Structures are given as structure tokens and as C-alpha cells.
């Protein structure tokens, strides 16, 4: 069991849990995720690690209620325990493997959309701990949905807030602020990390392609086992089949087929859709998801 040391409500439907998970905390790096189950009979939910403390043996998980599983998870509170926390899973952020001198020479901008701000945070914090500056654009539909603004300001050089309705910061989508910063405000970036809803990452990549800024995205397709077994998280990157849980979750955003990923995500939601994908994808959908019968 994994005790929840503190449970905080960040917005109406976004929660932050600090969880005692010593083994995960001892080795995780920015960009990695865990798969949790709130109860022994609960569904598995992949969650990016938003923060960690090796000293305290804790990790911080931020999640949004999007269905029955996350609603059940959100009912837990300080003092309760989560049944499973499996991880760290996936590859660490590319940034963690680059030489520090190389990183210091880069002008890095993060584009964080909605709940995608949570996986951006550990990368920004890691950079600051290595004396590397970066800018962060945080976008949300409205001011009440902005998360981690103050935390981000502790570590980023500049934080730009955008809201779709103009209730706080700059009005408009994150892509508009990125364009404005580069085209009208003299900013130069040579590395972008965009994390948020799939549609945001698609348009962020179209924007950075036009601005010639290499861009990394962190994909969160439907995941089941998180170990490359079930095929649920299959994506096409540069025309090659990849599995976000083991090959990612980060990929070169300019090579990701977002339209296919979004379409596949929708198809995967129904039993009929999963059976269709199993037939279509053959060996690359090799069962184990527990839904399609491919494991039989
Ligand atoms: P949201 O829909 O409120 O969007 C956040 C911001 O993204 C918007 O304010 C806007 O600035 C930008 N955006 C949205 N659509 C855009 C477009 N077409 N062009 C340019 N910019 C656009 O975000 P939300 O409700 O917090 O998002 C929830 C989604 O994020 C869920 O589907 C969840 O799966 C996903 N998510 C992704 C990750 C990840 O690792 N990639 C992590 C957490 C959540
Ligand atoms: Fe990636 Fe199953 S979640 S293959």
C-alpha cells in the first residue's frame, strides 16, 4: 500500500497527491510516469510524476477527473492509501541525458497546456537545479484552471500565463503567445517542449515547425500495462510504429502523426473499436490489454 501524505484540490477537478513511494522516488527522473490503482479492483491509471523527493521517499501525482477511475481515485484523501504504484515507467526526458554545457547554450521554452503543466514542472525544476534557465508558457481555458503557477515561477526564468477567455494573463491559445514572443517580442528559442492535450501538441508543433524550433512532445495515449505488452499506446512517429509507454512518452513532435493518434484514441474506447484495431494492427496489437481477447 502507498500512503497519501497529502491530498490537495488544485481546481474543481484537478487533484495533487503526495504519495509515499520510496522505490519510485529513489530512481525516477523528469518525464517518467507511474501506473496507479486506487483499490485492488480499480482500473490502472497512468500518471506522470509531477515532483519527487529522494530524501522523503515521496512522489507527487497530479490528475484530472475524466472518468470513473479518476473519480474513484479523487475520493481518496490524506491518510488513505493507494493500492498500487508501479514505476518509474517510460524513458526519462531527453533533456536529462544531454551534457549540461550543451543545455546551458540552449534557449528552452516549455509550452504547458492545462493538466499538461504537471509533467512540465519536474523538467523545469531539474533544469534550474542544474543552473539552466528556461521560459514557460502555461495555458488554460480560464483563470480558475491554471495550475502550478507559483511553483513554476520558483524555477523558470519567465512564466507567461495565457487563458482562452482572457480572464488572466494573455488572451488566446498558448500557440499565439509563442508566436508573439518570437515574432514580436524578440525571443529566440532553439528547443521547445510541448505537453498538454493532443490537439494542443499538434498545433504547437505546427507553430514551432513554421518557426524552425525543434520540439519534443510527451504523449499520453491510452495505456494499459505500461510495459509494451498490450499495444494500447501505439503511435506512429516518422512513419515507424512506437509504443509511448516504452519508447516514449517523449517523441520528436515534428514526426508524430497526431491525427492518427487522436483517431486511434477514440477508436480504442469501445470494445468494437478495440476488436477492429486488433484485426488491423495484427502482431503490433499483441493482446494483454484485457479487453480485446488478443491475449487468449
Ligand atoms: P485544455 O483543453 O484546457 O487546453 C489547455 C490549453 O491548451 C488551452 O488553454 C490552450 O492554450 C491550449 N490548446 C487547446 N487546444 C488548442 C489548439 N487547438 N491549438 C493550440 N492550443 C490549444 O486542457 P485540459 O482540459 O487540461 O486537457 C486535458 C487533456 O490533457 C486530457 O485529454 C489529458 O489526457 C491531456 N493531458 C496530457 C498530458 C501529457 O502528458 N501529454 C498530461 C496530462 C493531461
Ligand atoms: Fe504501452 Fe501497453 S500501454 S503497450
How many other C-beta atoms can be found within 10 angstroms of the C-beta atom of residue 104? 12
Segment 53-75 mean pLDDT: 95
Domain ranges (residues) in the chain: 2-89, 94-218, 221-296
The Cβ-side half-sphere exposure at 8, using a 13 Å CA radius, reads: 11
Give the atom of ligand 2 at the shortest distance from the alpha carbon of 233: 1
Contact 190, 106 (CB under 8 A): yes
- Give tens-digit pLDDT for 129-151: 999 999 999 999 999 999 999 99
First-to-last C-alpha distance (Å) of the chain: 30
| pTM assigned to the model | 0.92
pLDDT reading at 296 higher than 70: no
Give the atom of ligand 2 at the shortest distance from the alpha carbon of 222: 3
Q: What local confidence, expressed as pLDDT, does residue 23 receive?
A: 96
Q: What is the DSSP-derived secondary structure letter of residue 116?
A: G
Give Dmax (Cα) for the chain: 58
Q: What local confidence, expressed as pLDDT, does residue 291 receive?
A: 46
- Give tens-digit pLDDT for 161-220: 999 999 999 999 999 999 999 999 999 999 999 999 999 999 999 999 999 999 999 998
Q: What local confidence, expressed as pLDDT, does residue 223 receive?
A: 80
Query: Does 113 contact ligand 1 (Cβ within 6 A)?
Result: yes
Query: Does 61 contact ligand 1 (Cβ within 6 A)?
Result: no
Report how far apart, in Å, the C-alpha atoms of 202 and of each of 64, 93, 214, 254, 268 are. Answer: 21, 19, 14, 9, 20
Q: Provide the CATH number for the domain formed by 2-89 in this structure.
A: 2.40.30.10
Segment 155-159 mean pLDDT: 97
pLDDT reading at 119 higher than 70: yes
Query: Does 213 contact ligand 1 (Cβ within 6 A)?
Result: no
Q: How far is the CA of 198 from the centre of ligand 2 (A)?
A: 18
Contact 204, 253 (CB under 8 A): yes
15 forms bridges with which residues in the sheet? 9, 63
The owner of cell 507527487 is 60
Segment 37-55 mean pLDDT: 93
pLDDT band, residue 289 (cuts 50/70/90)? very low
Q: What local confidence, expressed as pLDDT, does residue 286 receive?
A: 47
Please determine, looking at this structure, whether the domain spanning 94-218 carries the CATH number 3.30.413.10.
Answer: no
For the chain, the C-alpha Rg in angstroms (whole number) is: 19
Query: Does 73 contact ligand 1 (Cβ within 6 A)?
Result: no
Query: Does 215 contact ligand 1 (Cβ within 6 A)?
Result: no
Q: What is the overall mean pLDDT for the chain?
A: 91
Query: Does 248 contact ligand 1 (Cβ within 6 A)?
Result: no
Q: What local confidence, expressed as pLDDT, does residue 268 receive?
A: 77
Amino acid at each position: 500500500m502507498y500512503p497519501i501524505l497529502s491530498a490537495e484540490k488544485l481546481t474543481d477537478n484537478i487533484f495533487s497527491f503526495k504519495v509515499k513511494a520510496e522505490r519510485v522516488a529513489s530512481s525516477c527522473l523528469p518525464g517518467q510516469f507511474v501506473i496507479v490503482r486506487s483499490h485492488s479492483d480499480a482500473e490502472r491509471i497512468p500518471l506522470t510524476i509531477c515532483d519527487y523527493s529522494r530524501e522523503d521517499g515521496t512522489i507527487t501525482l497530479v490528475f484530472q477527473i475524466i472518468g470513473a477511475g479518476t473519480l474513484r481515485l479523487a475520493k481518496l484523501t490524506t491518510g488513505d492509501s493507494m493500492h498500487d504504484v508501479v514505476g518509474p515507467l517510460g524513458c526519462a526526458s531527453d533533456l536529462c541525458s544531454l551534457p549540461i554545457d550543451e543545455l546551458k547554450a540552449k534557449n528552452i521554452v516549455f509550452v504547458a497546456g492545462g493538466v499538461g503543466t504537471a509533467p512540465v514542472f519536474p523538467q523545469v525544476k531539474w533544469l534550474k537545479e542544474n543552473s539552466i534557465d528556461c521560459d514557460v508558457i502555461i495555458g488554460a481555458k480560464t483563470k480558475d484552471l491554471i495550475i502550478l503557477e507559483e511553483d513554476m515561477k520558483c524555477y523558470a526564468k519567465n512564466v507567461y500565463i495565457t487563458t482562452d477567455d482572457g480572464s488572466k494573463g494573455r488572451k488566446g491559445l498558448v500557440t499565439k503567445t509563442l508566436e508573439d514572443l518570437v515574432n514580436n517580442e524578440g525571443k529566440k528559442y532553439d528547443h521547445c517542449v510541448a505537453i498538454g492535450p493532443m490537439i494542443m501538441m499538434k498545433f504547437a508543433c505546427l507553430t514551432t515547425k513554421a518557426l524552425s524550433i525543434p520540439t519534443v512532445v510527451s504523449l499520453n495515449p491510452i495505456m494499459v500495462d505500461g510495459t509494451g505488452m498490450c499495444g494500447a499506446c501505439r503511435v506512429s512517429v516518422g512513419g515507424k510504429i512506437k509504443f509511448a509507454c516504452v519508447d516514449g512518452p517523449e517523441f520528436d513532435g515534428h514526426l508524430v502523426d497526431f491525427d492518427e493518434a487522436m483517431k486511434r484514441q477514440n477508436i480504442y474506447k469501445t470494445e468494437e473499436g478495440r476488436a477492429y484495431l486488433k484485426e488491423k494492427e495484427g502482431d503490433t496489437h499483441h493482446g494483454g490489454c484485457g479487453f480485446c481477447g488478443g491475449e487468449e
